[in-house]
Structure 1
Amino acid sequence: MYGEVVSTETLTPHLIRVVLGGPGLDGLVAPAGADSYVNAFFVPPGAPYEVPFDDDAVRDLPREQRPYPRRYTVRSWDADQQRLTLDFVVHGDVGRAGRWATHARPGDRLQFRGPAGDWTPSPDADSYLFVGDESAFPAIGGALERVPSGRPVVAVLETGSAAGELALSSPGDLSLVWVHRDGAADLDTLLVDAVRGLDPLPGVVDAFVHGEAASTRAVRRHLLETGAVAREHLSCSPYWRRGLDDEQWRAVKGAWTREVEVEGDVPA
């Protein structure tokens, strides 16, 4: 399946929204959850093929010519207009996905598989906590829109500076807490320090903690050790790791995730 770029929008200095449309989206199944994602494939410069391409045919090409897979949250899907919206974190003209998004123009094509993934805020929770950096903003933005009306929801959001803050809304009783990396002494503890400073949320708390690996690990440990969130009500996943590029992180992510999981509720 593939989409053609309909429009792009710079949301913040490091976040670009790309809207896809066209007949390549025919038959797309509506995403099941707020954190549904597509596996997008980015064609390297000079590759001897273009989108749409045959998956089997490109597998036999040299590694440097094969498409590079990256997972992106579906920010929204408009079935009536057949428009798929994806938000990309960009850091200048680097990174395969970020570079593509930075230079995307109407008519450009992006091939993908999916969507998959079905996490969404539990309708039975009493309150909600969402924590993450820019890489989690699309999922958090979608999740906020699915919180039941009037229920308490807090989003603790990390960005570089005030210029990276987004307008977010929810039918819930929303409190936004922005934390900025600029001037921070310890980036690994920036989010967890903000979470420690929150007033306790009432009742059963449904929590979503996604983003940089060390930061999400620290928040996860705090929430479980303090009993603020029960393990069965916590969705926690590392999207990236400070100091590693995409390929380096993909190589070690499985081991990192297993190490975090065995920590359970016990301090490491």
Structure 2
Amino acid sequence: MRSSVLEWVAKGDALLLPIFLMALWWVASTQGWLPQQILPSPAYVLDTGRDMMSTGELFYHAGVSLRRVVFGFAIGATLGMMVGVAMGLSNRVEDYVKPLFLAFAQIPTLGWIPLLMLLVGIEETLKIIIIAKGALVPVTLNTFSGIRNVPVKYLEVSRALRFSRWQTLRLVILPSAVPSIFTGVRYGLTHAWTSLVGVELLASSEGLGYLLVWGRQMFWLDTVIIAMIVIGVIGFGMDKGLNAAEVLIQRWKKKEEE
């Protein structure tokens, strides 16, 4: 009971800053501290959001962005796990691949856009590649770290039980590396989502990033704010969903060990 009360209080504290910012926004708009064209009122933004939902415009652009991030993230995360596992299991692969990979990782994701535009154009392929690159780096590095940090005693037990290499990987190494891999997946999804918005800002005619650019060009600040809110809500929801999945897997793992 006491812990529940403390959690409720902690959640209440977390809401103080958003509530304060909303109140400040409302006061600034009603008092006319800034022109309506620069800072539309919360009520006006809410009406715009309702209109965009009723026409389906907001759902359409959000759906386009989500479809892109799902495909790009799936490709980047899959490749990242494969490369991370390969480097983690083989010193030779690490020696050959890791230096080049770290150099590749140092180049910002959006820094690849000019080159890729020349190679693949500005259509969907460009967006998928940029999103995949955003997910690839954190997933690879965290998968590699998780495999290399498997406790030595676990490996000694597997040798004592005469596990094959495949059994050791499946029953010992990968389960032990799950927390680190999930951390990489969460970071990878965050990077993929921000990379998506970035590439849509530069080269897209649909999607939430496009809404930001279109609203800025037309000086529709209400549209810009709506797009920002939706981007933040979707990103927050995806991160919380992965966090819940990680908690469930850890509980299942603990029960299995017991």
Higher helix share: 2
Larger radius of gyration: 2
Question: Do they superpose with TM above 0.5?
Answer: no
TM-score of the pair, normalised by structure 2: 0.24
Higher relative contact order (CA 8 A, sep 6+): 2
